Amino acid sequence: MNILRIYVRVLAMLASEKRLAIILIIANLALAVAAFAEPILFGRIIDTLTRSAGDPSSVSWAELLPLIYAWIAFGIFTILASIFVALNADRVSHRGRLRVMSDFFEHVLHLPLGYHTGVHSGRLLKTMLDGSNGMASVWLSFLREHCASFVSLFVLLPMTLLLNWRLGALLIVLVFVFGAITAYVFHHTESLQEKVETYHTDLAERASDALGNIAIIQSFTRVEAEATSLRSISAELLRAQMPVLSWWAIATVAARTSATVTILAIFVVGAYLFTKGLATIGEIVTFMSFAGMLIGKLEATVTFANWLFMLTPKLREFFDVTDALPGVCDAPDARDVGRLTGEVAFDNVTFSYDKRRNAVKDVSFTVKPGETVALVGATGSGKSTTLGLLHRVFDPTGGRVLIDGVDIREMTLVALRRNIGVVFQEPMLFARSIEENLRVGKPDATEEEIQIALERAQAKDFIARQPDGMRTIVGERGRTLSGGERQRVSIARALLKDPPILIFDEATSALDATTERLLQAALDAATKGRTTFVIAHRLATIRNADRIFVFDQGAVVETGNFEQLVALNGKFAALARAQFMADAVAKEGIEPA
Ligand code: ADP
Ligand code: MG
């Protein structure tokens, strides 16, 4: 996307305030015309005066007064229109900034998890703020000045040819020289500036990454190293920025010089034309004043071009994000399926992250409502991916996932996800109160429902010990709670949702053995009557499952209950021997390898 396309695209976003924007543009047109009227009136007045230069008493007031009145009228109009434009341009751009920001935010929330794993949150935040602030300033400057400048340059300037074509041509040459200098500098610095912007983004990403890992930085005494690395990015940024700045400084000086030359030329050429009777003194004055005005506008335009040029990479990054498609979205005829009973079927499901290697291949199984299934297998064997396909983090590249016999792609995402409660390995909590975190599961939950969910998740005791109880704020990502406490809040959150299908993706692996045992009993109660998928490594969790699916390299290689699989003495038995602790092995009677 080149700079002009981006500029036009940003301006096109004013469409949501079409009426006001059009009124402002018309006001700008009028202002541009008024600005050109003044020098012309000025020239006429001078001509009227010079005509009676030999005899001052012969000055015709009948001729002068209308010119002066017109000037006053244009002056008053300019003041009023400018006030109107300034006020409303500010409003439009402020409203637009907040609208664009919330749209961006909503869009980003819709983007697939896969997108977010690849992009740092610090980078997205910077893109959102830079992009929306940048757009607001583009709108503001367009509506306040540049719209009028464009009109002056492209419409009114050619009209000066009618006034005096020789002097008009001089002005047009001036505009071309300015344009050429700017274009040349643009051309030479575009890729340089792009590089500068990547340093800016690196800087933001690096800083936010460090802030998110402050505990590691301090405990590994990395403060100096992190600070140094940030400084070295800054240094590289400056090194890359300097040549760009030099180029633009040259452009500014060159533009200034050509402006001075033009003024001189108008004076000299004007004087020559005057002696030949081809221009009046009034016309020379008019063109001098045109030239002054134009130079002001051109300089402002070059400054603006420079600024837009610095801004473009930020805007481009913004549009790159807003142009990214949500990976999973509702089909046009998707429907709300209401509450499901929870019969889950995978029908030859295959999925690949990179279109080369399959993370899940040809997985087929059926799980009855209320059944508890454990997924086991080495890390990277495709367990999380399989369950991700169930709540549509991504869609299968082949095969179908059905719930209650309906392809989940025929359901709305909201309906599907309302029916599935997920407890992730990393218990992600908002930096809000415990209660707010729980209500994410069910915003209108009653006090009693919350208490039941907490009871089942074994979370009551530690919440009672918190300084503000349920109103305790848990810090960024729940940092003020211990791993086990965080996980119990997130389990309670899923239980509160009361879904027919539950997914626990290594949810209990962060808990100590005692807590896990306590929780296990609670979970058994909570999962009763719900179809439950558990990914776990602990024997106790797996033993309680109705069935176990053994994963290997994306495929289900063995299925059965614990005893059956041990008797089979295949992959599961080997995995069990390798994974479970020696005493557990002894207790459960699995032969150590
Ligand atoms: P498990 O949960 O059994 O440990 P996963 O389902 O997380 O395994 O991963 C299956 C395979 O897919 C692994 O090889 C892993 O590297 C790959 N994988 C997982 N998540 C992503 C991702 N977001 N992008 C690319 N590859 C991924
Ligand atoms: Mg996993």
C-alpha to C-alpha distance for 87 and 81, rounded to whole angstroms:
10
Q: Which residues line ligand 1 (CB under 6 A)?
A: 114, 117, 353, 359, 377, 379-385
SS3 389: helix
Q: Are residues 414 and 445 in the same domain?
A: no
Q: What is the pLDDT of residues 425-458, one digit of tens each?
A: 777 888 888 998 888 888 888 999 999 888 888 8
- Condensed to tens digits (0 to 9), the pLDDT of residues 386-400 reads 999 999 988 999 999
**pLDDT value at position 584?**
52
Measuring CA to CA, which residue among 147, 141, 121 is closest to residue 311?
141
Say if residues 445 and 511 touch (Cβ distance below 8 Å): no
Which of 476, 498, 520 is the last residue before a domain boundary? 498
Residues 250 and 281 in one domain: yes
pTM of the entire structure? 0.71
Task: Return the higher-pLDDT residue of 590 and 92.
Answer: 92
The two structure tokens encoding residue 573: 């038995």
Whether 68 is covered by a domain: the verdict is: yes
Q: What is the mean pLDDT of residues 550-571?
A: 90
- 494: domain range? 429-498
- Rounded to 5°, the CA angle 288-294-295 comes to 90
Token code pair at residue 398: 């082949």
CATH number at 42 reads 1.20.1560.10
Assess whether pLDDT exceeds 50 at residue 586. no
Sign, Cα dihedral of 288, 290, 291, 295: positive
**Quick check: helix, strand or coil at residue 579?**
helix
Per-residue model confidence (pLDDT) at position 582: 43
User: What share of the chain has pLDDT > 70, as a percent?
Assistant: 96
Ligand 1 atom, smallest distance to 375 CA: 3
Rounded Cα distance between 573 and 566, Å, is 5
On whether both 128 and 213 belong to a single domain, the answer is yes
The four Cα atoms 455, 456, 457, 462 give a dihedral, to 10 degrees, of 20
Banded model confidence at residue 591, pLDDT cuts 50, 70, 90: very low
* CA of 204 relative to ligand 2 center, distance in Å: 29
Q: Are residues 298 and 376 in the same domain?
A: no
pLDDT at 523: 75
**What's the rounded Cα separation, in Å, for the pair 171 and 589?**
97
- Mean pLDDT calculated for residue range 333-345: 91
Contact in structure between 382 and 416 (CB atoms under 8 Å): no
Question: Per-residue pLDDT tens for 240-264?
Answer: 999 999 998 888 888 888 888 888 8
Q: Quick one: pLDDT at residue 585?
A: 45
For 122-143, what is each residue's pLDDT tens digit?
Answer: 888 989 999 999 999 999 998 8
Closest ligand to Cα 424:
2
Q: Which of 478, 445, 446, 444 shows the shortest CA–CA distance to 463?
A: 478
CA 527 to chain centre: 38
The CA–CA distances, whole Å, from 497 to 110, 326, 432 equal 21, 25, 18
Question: Can you tell me which residue has the tokens 């051109």?
Answer: 298
In this structure, the answer to whether residues 38 and 82 fall within a common structural domain is: yes
Q: Does residue 579 fall inside a structural domain? A: yes
- Of all atoms in ligand 1, which is nearest to the CA of residue 377? 3
What's the pLDDT score for residue 592?
43
Mapped to the 3 state alphabet, what secondary structure does 328-339 carry?
Answer: CCCCCCCECCCC
Q: Which residues lie at CB < 5 A from ion ligand 2?
A: 384
Coil vs helix vs strand at 262? helix
15-44 tens-digit pLDDT: 888 899 899 989 988 888 888 888 888 888
Assign residue 448 the CATH number of its domain: 3.40.50.300
Report whether pLDDT(522) > 80: no
Residue 226 lies in a domain: yes
| Banded pLDDT at 479 (limits 50, 70, 90) | confident
Are residues 24 and 86 located together in one domain of the fold?
yes
452 occurs within a structural domain: yes
Residue 174 lies in a domain: yes
- Last-in-domain residue among 481, 498, 515: 498
Is residue 289, in this structure, part of any structural domain at all?
A: yes
| Beta carbons of 39 and 293 less than 8 angstroms apart | yes
Q: What's the one-letter identity of residue 121? A: S
Q: Are residues 105 and 211 in the same domain?
A: yes
Note the ligand closest to the C-alpha atom of 375: 1
User: 287-325: per-residue pLDDT in tens?
Assistant: 888 888 888 888 888 788 888 888 888 899 899 999 887
Assess whether 175 and 303 both reside in one domain. Answer: yes
Residue 42: predicted pLDDT: 87
| Residues 167 and 229 occupy one common structural domain | yes
Is 313 within a domain? Answer: yes
For residue range 77-94, list pLDDT tens digits in order.
Answer: 999 999 999 899 999 999
Domain final residue, candidates 466, 498, 530? 498
Distance 375 CA to ligand 2 centre (A): 10
Buried-state track 200-230, b at ≥16 Cβ within 10 A, e below 16: bbbbbbbebebeeeeeebeeeebeeebeeee
Whether residue 391 is found in the same domain as residue 485: no
Q: Which ligand lies nearest the alpha carbon of 393?
A: 1
- The number of the ligand nearest the C-alpha atom of 389 reads 1
CA distance 443 to 49: 80
Do residues 237 and 282 share a domain? Answer: yes
Q: How far is the CA of 545 from the centre of ligand 2 (A)?
A: 18
* Residue at 275 is within a domain: yes
In this prediction, residue 413 has a pLDDT band, given cuts at 50, 70 and 90, of confident
pLDDT digits 0-9 by tens, 352-382: 988 889 999 999 999 999 999 999 988 899 9
Q: Which pLDDT belongs to residue 319?
A: 93
Residue 473 Cα, ligand 2 centroid: separation in angstroms? Answer: 29
Q: What is the Cα–Cα distance from 570 to 562, expressed in whole angstroms?
A: 12
Ligand 1: centre distance to CA 44 (Å):
79
> Which ranges of 276-374 would DSSP assign to H, the alpha helix?
281-323
Residue type, 114: G
Total count of domains within the chain: 3
Ligand 1: distance of its center to the CA of 550 in Å?
A: 16
User: In a mutational test of the pocket of ligand 1, which residue from 115, 384, 390, 571 has the highest number of ligand atoms less than 8 Å from its CB?
Assistant: 384
Strand, helix or coil at 367?
Answer: strand
Query: Region 543-561: what's the mean pLDDT?
Result: 91
pLDDT for the residue numbered 593 = 40
Residue 182 and residue 289 in one domain: yes
Find the mean pLDDT for residues 64-76: 90
pLDDT band, very low/low/confident/very high, at 580 (cuts 50, 70, 90):
low
